[in-house]
């Protein structure tokens, strides 16, 4: 199997769509449906990359990003924010949270795959 990716989104359809696309490209994909689950799985599984939605229940994606980037054992994991928020402010917040990339939903799968490859090649 290839690199491990933790995909976090509270939309089940999107999770399945992105998961199958990534797996077809040779990646091993774990999923989480909210921020709490994302933090627990990241700590346990130590993925090679995180793909993270911003608007989620329990803990939002920006908080997850900040906590992971501030954790000495996880801080080096690249994080791609995948969000419907297209406002400049959201992108600036993601940068402040130390996210590595920002992809806006709806997105073209090739765009997301190119971002993933950038960090996992």
Q: What is the pLDDT of residues 55-95, one digit of tens each?
A: 999 999 999 999 999 999 999 999 999 999 999 999 999 99
Q: What is the pLDDT of residues 53-62, one digit of tens each?
A: 999 999 999 9
Mean pLDDT of 16-31: 97
Inform me whether the pLDDT recorded for 43 exceeds 90. yes
The Cβ of residue 53 has, within 10 Å, a number of other Cβ atoms equal to 26
Residues in CB range of 90: below 8 A, 6 or more apart? 54, 83, 102
Mean pLDDT of 24-43: 97
Selected from 3.40.50.2300, 3.20.20.70, 3.80.10.10, 3.40.640.10, the CATH number assigned to the domain covering 4-120 reads 3.40.50.2300
Residue 55 in tokens: 């608007």
Across the beta sheet with 49-52, what order do the strands follow? 28-32, 4-8, 49-52, 79-83, 101-104
Work out the pLDDT band at 50, boundaries 50, 70, 90: very high
Q: Where are the domains of the chain?
A: 4-120
Measured between alpha carbons, how far is residue 9 from residues 1, 72, 73, 89, 121 in Å?
Answer: 23, 24, 23, 20, 24
């Amino acid at each position: 199997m290839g690199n491990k990716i933790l995909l976090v989104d509270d939309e089940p359809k999107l999770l399945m769509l992105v998961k199958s696309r990534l797996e077809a490209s040779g990646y091993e994909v774990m999923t989480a449906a909210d921020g709490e689950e994302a933090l627990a799985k990241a700590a346990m599984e130590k993925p090679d990359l995180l793909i993270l939605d911003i608007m989620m229940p329990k803990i939002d994606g920006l908080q997850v990003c900040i906590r992971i980037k501030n954790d000495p054992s996880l801080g080096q994991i690249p994080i791609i924010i995948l969000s419907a928020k297209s406002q400049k402010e959201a992108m600036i917040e993601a940068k402040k949270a130390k996210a590595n990339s920002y992809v806006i939903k709806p997105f073209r799968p090739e765009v997301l795959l190119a971002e993933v490859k950038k960090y996992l090649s």
